[in-house]
Structure 1
Amino acid sequence: MAESPKSVAFWRSFPIFEEFTPALIEEVRGLAQQRKWTAGAVIFQRGDPGDYMILVASGRIKLSLITPQGRELTLRHMEEGALLGEMAVIDGEPRSADATASVATEGYVVSKADFSAFLARNPAAMQAVMRFLCRRLRETNEQLETLALYDLDSRVARFFLLTMRQILGEEPPEEAVLKIGLSQSEIASVVGASRPKINRAILSLEEKGAIERKGASILLRTRKLRAVAEPDED
């Protein structure tokens, strides 16, 4: 990150801490332990105890599940500024997915025991974390509502745009070739449709020039995907 790990701005770049005062940031910084993971390292697996959260400072962490058919289902990629495992340190539930370092990754770890004690002695921090979790819940509700309002072509286009943002950042390039790593059946489970309908939607996006399949990879054209994703916008 551009900001020093010692700066207040660095810690506030993680959404869970964005309302924290400098004094609270200083206390959190004292709880965090720096960690490094090599590319391919398994950080945790589904079912493991959720006894710490991770703040990603650089690199990329893949969250995934193994389907009943033995295929890996990639849920998302967590990059610089991302936070994972925060729910586990609050509700005590085990990990709900596998986490693997896609590339060499650095970050900070805060244990459940330390963070719980920190919140117990800092009511202002507890309230800020509650507001953060409420925002996350509202965002999820809005995403589900939005999904119901768009036709299938738009939903699949939005899925591809979201994947680009997760991998390439909030402002992806005009074109990118990515290996999505999901079958049509798995995409269908994400956007809420049957596999045959997903196949037709992908063909439709190809006909519109928004995507182009290249073997195991796919060329994504950002502007044309946005035009399909938001058909009512000028």
Structure 2
Amino acid sequence: MSPAPPPREKPSFWRSFPLFQDLPDAVLADIDALATLQRWAAAEVIFQRGDAGAWLLALKSGRVRLSLITQAGRELTLRHAEPGDTLGELALFDQDPRSADATAVLDTTGYVLARRSYEALASKHPALTMGVARYLSRRLRETTEQLESIALYPLEARAARFLLFTLRQLNGLDLPSRATLRLEISQTELATVLGASRPKVNRALLALAEAGALNKGPHGWDCDIPALQALAEPDAD
């Protein structure tokens, strides 16, 4: 007797990914039928910069660090991907190599969708191409905002903007007046994202706390959203 196939995901699972959230059930059912579940152990490399990019990864559990190695041998963390994030979207459109390293921080599972499967789906469901295009446009705007923060804002404002960006990823655009953020990266990794040294980032976080925007609690940072927003735009007045 052959083993039973693994249970498939419901449409609500696939809609938890911004890349697929606006797609009809028929498209999501076809994605579910073609995607394959894979697992990586903590510290295992999922792909490296320069590898052939031929598939997209939709994270179901765990955490993945996206990073670059500089010529001096330093690792620059670009971001951490959590369940509900996708990696390697550009591989669906081009045949260029991977532009960063992806490493599992925790034991990680995710669904892999090959480019050839995406192309077959896109020819059958034009809505898929439009959904991916909208998602990539949002990601481009987010990248522009991050670069603007590093280039134009003082460190305290960059830290506040990063915290607000992370809170919006977790809670949506309409943030409450207060929210708790469990920051799952070290200060060293945060320093690479903000383009500063670890001691300077530590002082910036202390400055945000002294301003009443942050309070370290047992479950993470208790964030005063209006205070963070004011600090994120120091020249707004």
What TM-score range do you get, normalising by the shorter chain?
A: 0.7 to 0.9
Unaligned runs of 5+ residues in structure 1 are 213-219
Specify the alignment match of 2:68 in structure 1. 65
Specify the alignment match of 1:230 in structure 2. 230
Q: Write the distance in 2 (CA, Å) between the matches of 1:138 and 1:199.
A: 28
Specify the alignment match of 1:136 in structure 2. 139
Identify the range of structure 1 (4-13 vs 86-95) with the bigger mean alpha-carbon deviation.
4-13
Unaligned runs of 5+ residues in structure 2 are 1-6
Specify the alignment match of 1:181 in structure 2. 188
Amino acid at match of 2:38: R
Q: Write the distance in 1 (CA, Å) between the matches of 2:181 and 2:121.
A: 44
Task: Write the mapping of 1:39-188 to structure 2, written as runs, cut at 5 A.
Answer: 39-142=42-145, 150-160=153-163, 162=165, 169-170=170-171, 173=180, 179-182=186-189, 186-187=192-193
Q: State the shift of 1:147 in Å.
A: 6.6
Q: Deviations over 1:49-92 (max 9, x none)?
A: 11111010111111111122212222111111111111122122
Q: Deviations over 1:153-193 (max 9, x none)?
A: 21233235556888xx5496367685223485x4553xxx8
Q: Write the distance in 2 (CA, Å) between the matches of 1:71 and 1:225.
A: 33
TM-score (norm 1): 0.73
Amino acid at match of 1:69: A
- CA shift in 2, pair 1:105/1:224, >3 Å: same
Q: State the shift of 1:16 in Å.
A: 1.6
- CA shift in 2, pair 1:93/1:75, >3 Å: same
Query: Is structure 2 residue 9 aligned with structure 1 residue 6?
Result: yes
**Aligned pair count?**
219
Q: Percent of pairs identical after alignment?
A: 45
Specify the alignment match of 2:40 in structure 1. 37
- CA shift in 2, pair 1:164/1:102, >3 Å: farther
Identify the range of structure 1 (111-120 vs 45-54) with the bigger mean alpha-carbon deviation.
111-120
Contact 1:11 1:18 in 2 (8 A): yes
Amino acid at match of 1:223: C
Q: Write the distance in 1 (CA, Å) between the matches of 2:225 and 2:202.
A: 16
- CA shift in 2, pair 1:188/1:20, >3 Å: closer
Q: Deviations over 1:18-38 (max 9, x none)?
A: 222111111111110011111
